[in-house]
Structure 1
Amino acid sequence: MTVYQLPAEMGAFARYLGGMAEHLVAGEGWYGVFAGRDPDGLRACFGGTEIPPWDVVESLLQDLGESPLGAEAARARALHAAAAAAHDRRPGGAEALEERLAAMERERRYAEARADELAARLRAAPHAPDGDRIADALAWAGDDHARATARVAELTARRAALGPDGGRAPAPEPAPASGAAPAPAVRRKPRGARYAWFDDVEEAQLPAPEPRPEAVALPMAGGAPRGARFGGADAAQGGGRAGTAGTEQAATEAAATEADAVRAAGNAVYALRRLRAQGRSGEAHVLLCEAVAGPPGWLPALAAELHRVGLGADWSTLLWEAASLPPGRLAAVAGALADAGRVEDCEQLLRQGVARPVGELAGACAALRAEGHQREADALLAAFVRARTPEDAARLAAADPHALIPLLRTAARTVSPARERDLVHALRVAGMAGG
């Protein structure tokens, strides 16, 4: 009887996943989603016989509250890359990789077609009785497409790393935080607002953005972006103007910030269209993730430009990525969209965010209320009570019973009287006053 021994790298990564599993909560967060969708596959990954896609590992780290740019994520990426390389170098590994890549490309095309179909249905009847159900299905189709795109890029990079010698080349570089293929190395990186979101492209390769009608402008209601949620953009534009009158300074800073946002949007969309035309979908996904990490106040301008050139699907992907942001950042993006009058985008973002751990959602709700976005906080709670169990709602209420119990009851009441009764029962079982 032949006993097969796992490569050391795969064993090390399996032990790392096992350590993560000890801190994950069954049935909650992305861990609960993956376990419900593919329990056998998840067990194989934790057992070490399969290597999960990087986006799965990244989502589990998110469940644990780890930053995608932190030291723990970097350690996980290194272990994952080494394990994947060892897996691919095994006898038959190259063939298995080809089969998986072909299957994932089929999955990507199916998810894209499904998302297009659902989006068309939603546009045709935006106020239909089953509109919320279609929107939720569209959100999941968008997640399937984003993950399949990232996995195609990851598998393609792994195949390239094997080389013509059948796997004797060095292991691939760890995937970036988005789960997509790393961008190509460059000699220098441009800096500054003009090159926001795509500084993986050489400066010499960046022509001026395409001409746009004068009507294209930042659709920002209420003047300039303001407050800490705009990532320091105000401070960057306002330095050294202490002698200028307050009103004049505010107007100047508003114009500068708006111009930066429109220029950044134009350049990002130019780069995105070029990447799409060249079939570099992994790098296009990275660019969208970089946009999510940029100033929230710039996103409405990017949304307008993407829709103007017919890339609405990329905006949907960006919103899905934004739904995974840390609580304060999620609230900042939602607030920026609401301030710009993009109410439907804001509500879609909040609906997509309700699969997150309860503690994170409580933080996002508190951040929205602190910024004066009570309507958006209510929308988040309404989506939460529709998608999550009454027991989850009781756990959320425990973060701030005095403020959240009345809001949750109101949200549950808009769903149905039965949902409110179930919530009240769950609150009483949890021992909370007001239930």
Structure 2
Amino acid sequence: MTVHQLPAEQVTFAGWLSELAGRLRPGEGWYGVFAARDPEGLRACFDGTELPPWDLVASLLQDLGEPPGGPRAVRGLALHGAAAAAHDRAPDAARTLAARHRQAHRAAADAETRLHHLSATPGPALAWARDDLTRSRARVAELAARMTRLAGTGAAGAAGAAGVPGVAGVPGVVTVAPAAGAAAAPSVAPAPAPPPADSVRPPKRRPRGARYAWLDDAADGPAQAAVPELPAGGAAPRGARFGGAPAAAPVPAPAVAPVPAPAADPGHAARAAGNAVYALRRLRAQGRGGDAHGLLCEALAGPPAWLPVLAAELHRAGLAADWDTLLWEAAALPPARLAAVAGALADAGRPHDRDQLLRQGVARPVAELADACAVLAAEGHDPEAQALLTAFVRTRTPEDAARLAALDPAALTPRLLAAARAVSPSHARDLLHALRVAGLA
């Protein structure tokens, strides 16, 4: 049996988190919600074997009454950042981050759909849907920042090229803390008894637990059983990393933050692409498809200007299917990153790849699409912004297009109408009707 010792930074943060939870009342506030949803997952956070997302920590600080800029919150944020950096030095970190990033994106899309369906029925279910969306968007941003930082250290490429499988969750591997490690984990209340089977609808499979804090399916619609009230103050993420969002507010659209594109170094990009293709071939030959997929996801965390070089190298090597996979994953990138990749493909003379990326990206929440359009326009990529809107109009409903237009009527309404006219006269008529119903035309 292999024994793996936790990094000291993770142990230090786990001790701080345990001390924080020791000051809270079990069964109350957000602490009670997390403990009821996933006692084992929360205990793993206290043990240091699982790093919780910052929004979970911020909610526990909120239970304690700690202000966002208070000394305990500042200390916790610093320790959390150090623990994340230590966690991301593991050989399999890039693959793990990429998988969780995709999961957070899917959760955000699901939460936005739920929020749309519940928008006309104020109450606890609506509040939980807003909480889900706020948390999932915060986690997308947090994971994207960690992926970018990891790519900047060069560890991502090394991990992918080496193809070293990680130890987390592998049978026969035990994770232990160093001697004199974290404080004893606070007791976690057992999950409450489930309600009678006939009082709620059957649950669907969906991520749950303290690490996700997702809404129970009983709160998905107006016919559910009694839905508990959201803990006081809501769950908007707090602290410098999330811009000090207020505790209870309508779900905001993510801030537009263009990703600066590093100066292209053709020689460096070519070497990186060659190394990636070599590593992919070895992984495929060894039957390690999961590691190969992880390597492709890691490439997305690098400079966008390098991706066209990688595309050419993959096609030359007969790995065009891997490029299609990479484009599929790129469609789930944060809005600014998606815009940067689309712009890089356009600048490199790859309009077909750009259009494929944008077509696949239109399934994301409308708020993220509005941000992507704004970033593209700000960086002089108006054709790409219009191509994104055209793909959106072609594949989404007129009502979705009206919701998108409502986020920035002056800029988006005329562009959406132009996109609809380019698709077909019937698309234009349907969109115009939806805009009139929404009071936008």
Task: Tell which has more relative contact order, 1 or 2 (C-alpha 8 A, sep 6+).
Answer: 2
Specify which structure has the higher proportion of helix.
1
Q: TM-score, normalised by structure 2?
A: 0.47
Q: TM-score, normalised by structure 1?
A: 0.47
